[in-house]
């Protein structure tokens, strides 16, 4: 029906009809896709969320005498210097080199500082060469003093994204935020009907060279992003899970800190909140129908992030209309939902892009190359030495105690079997708690009579399907010396201790040493 050239002429003449994706949803619902395609020329989209796969290239300029930077730090955050003498790439998730600061300040915060006009400390080291004799630099720079500061984000604007919950008994900390025990909350990250790639799910108008809104400035799509996938399940034309991605580029010097924010996910690390908006030219009825998608039409899976594996189990399916109400029902129980991304900010981006086009300050571009809409899958990393699973360990015969047993009898079991941990089980062998030799000593000192008074009821456990390295991290994280092994029915199958893991590591290292 229309071409991008015709739409651009209407923009130039001030005659283009531009609406946000939210407005287009209502127009299509009321008038149909055919009528909407006749009336509307451009639909603006927006998203503002945590996009870890982001960063920027810097050129610092040559010092006198010159230096070939081999290690580069900006406000204590290392930037990759294996490029050229005074070029570096700063990744958003790089933490501070000082462990006392660590995850609280990283690459994302540094990028925001620069965009806000703040000076930052530059420290660089070198091994020195004949043409680059200088071996160190310590100075301060600003965004203005850099020759170039080019944002290049390898993976942004996920087409759809996982929603997360946690079935375990402990709070876990993830890139989708803090997840409470026993499915205490659900976290999601999408602008739903405003999201760019959900309004053009088959990349009919979006491609390499497409001009976009990026963090308050004009940017471009370089092509498909890393982990771009097209082969997942779709409903109403849009993927149910993580699918397409974009690689983006923009001039950091022209960006606005309102649309670029550094953040830290608790106990996970730094991330960058990126604001991106893509104009969708309404060239035909098909595109009008895609941009009429509503939150109710966009399905997404809720995954159990309590399972620390690449393929996590799906708890159930939902949609963004339901998630945005702030609550959802899981297994007959009401669970709170919360967005990791900002719908308000996404709408602001779509509105801002609309203003740019209305004022004739932003024109559409024909892609120079299409982004694949089929044939792309994400392969797993093949590990030559597979992980040892808990179920593969040689576990000693399990010794347990019942909650009603006398404390003196429990102490005798520990002494007779030379052990420091005893799982407490019910009549069916299901885990109720755990008691340690320290608990027993404390019970005797305090004159406690019942085991239930001294045992730990909230128990950190190992599942039979867990990799041993995950259990090692769990033991270290909670500063405990062992955990019970349970199956999906919570039946106790054994104990795994820090000593067991140490022996396993030593055995593996010895085998590797013998084979070399």
Buried b or exposed e, range 148-175, using 16+ CB within 10 angstroms = ebbbbbbbbbbbbbbbbbbebebebebb
Rounded to 10 degrees, the C-alpha dihedral 435/439/443/449 comes to -10
Measured distance CA(304)–CA(487) in Å, rounded: 16
* Given the residues 131, 215, 376, 506, the one annotated as active site: 131
Length of the chain counted residue by residue: 516
Question: Is the Cα dihedral 397, 403, 405, 409 positive or negative?
Answer: positive
The answer to whether 179 and 219 are in contact (CB under 8 A) is: no
Is 131 annotated as catalytic? Answer: yes
- Rounded (10°) angle between helices 437-446 and 407-417: 140
**Following DSSP, what letter does each residue of 76-136 receive, concatenated?**
TEEEB--SSTTEEEEETTPBBSSTTTGGGSBHHHHHHHHHTT--EEEEEE----SSS-B-E
Residue labelled with tokens 């929603």: 163
Residue labelled with tokens 């105690």: 401
Closest by CA position to 157, among listed 231, 107, 214: 214
Residues labelled catalytic: 131
């Amino acid at each position: 029906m229309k071409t991008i050239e015709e739409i651009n002429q209407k923009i130039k003449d001030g005659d283009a009809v531009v609406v946000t994706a939210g407005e287009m949803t209502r127009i299509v619902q009321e008038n149909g896709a055919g009528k909407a395609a006749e009336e509307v020329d451009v639909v603006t989209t927006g998203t503002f969320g945590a996009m870890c796969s982001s960063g920027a290239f810097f050129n610092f300029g040559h010092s006198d005498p010159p230096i070939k930077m081999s290690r580069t730090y900006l406000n204590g955050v290392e930037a990759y210097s294996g490029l050229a003498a005074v070029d570096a790439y700063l990744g958003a998730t790089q933490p501070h080199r000082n462990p006392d600061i660590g995850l609280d300040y990283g690459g994302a915060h540094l990028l925001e500082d620069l965009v806000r006009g703040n000076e930052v400390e530059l420290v660089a080291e070198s091994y020195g060469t004949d043409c680059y004799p200088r071996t160190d630099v310590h100075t301060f720079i600003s965004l203005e003093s850099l020759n170039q500061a080019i944002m290049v984000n390898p993976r942004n604007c996920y087409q759809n994204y996982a929603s997360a919950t946690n079935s375990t008994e402990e709070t876990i900390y993830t890139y989708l935020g803090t997840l409470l025990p026993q499915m205490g909350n659900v976290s999601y990250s999408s602008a739903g009907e405003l999201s760019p790639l959900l309004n053009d799910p088959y990349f009919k108008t979006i491609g390499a060279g497409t001009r976009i809104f990026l963090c308050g400035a004009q940017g471009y799509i370089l092509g498909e992003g890393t982990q771009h996938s097209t082969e997942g399940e779709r409903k109403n034309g849009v993927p149910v899970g993580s699918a397409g991605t974009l690689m983006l580029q923009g001039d950091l010097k022209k960006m606005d800190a309102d649309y670029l924010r550094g953040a830290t996910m608790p106990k996970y690390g730094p991330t960058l909140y990126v604001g991106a908006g893509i104009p969708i030219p309404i060239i035909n009825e098909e595109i009008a129908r895609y941009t009429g998608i509503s939150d109710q039409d966009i399905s997404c899976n809720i995954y159990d992030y309590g399972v620390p594996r690449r393929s996590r189990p799906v708890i159930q399916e939902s949609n963004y209309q339901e998630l945005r109400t702030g609550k959802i029902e899981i297994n007959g129980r009401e669970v709170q939902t919360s967005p990791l991304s900002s719908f308000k900010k996404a709408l602001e981006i779509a509105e801002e892009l609309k203003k740019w086009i209305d004022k004739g300050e932003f024109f559409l571009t024909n892609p120079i190359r299409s982004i694949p809409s089929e044939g792309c899958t994400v392969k797993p990393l093949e590990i030559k030495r597979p992980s040892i699973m808990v179920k593969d360990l040689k576990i000693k015969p399990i010794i347990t105690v019942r909650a009603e047993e006398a404390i003196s009898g429990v102490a005798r079991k520990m002494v007779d079997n030379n052990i420091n941990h005893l799982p407490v089980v019910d009549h069916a062998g299901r885990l109720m708690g755990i008691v340690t030799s320290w608990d027993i000593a404390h019970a005797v000192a305090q004159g406690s009579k019942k085991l239930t008074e001294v045992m730990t009821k909230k128990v950190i456990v190992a599942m039979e399907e867990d990799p041993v390295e995950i259990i090692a991290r769990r033991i270290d994280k909670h500063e405990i010396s062992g955990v019970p092994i349970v199956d999906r029915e919570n039946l106790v199958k054994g104990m795994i201790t820090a000593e067991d893991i140490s022996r396993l590591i030593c055995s593996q290292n010895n085998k590797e040493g013998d084979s070399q």
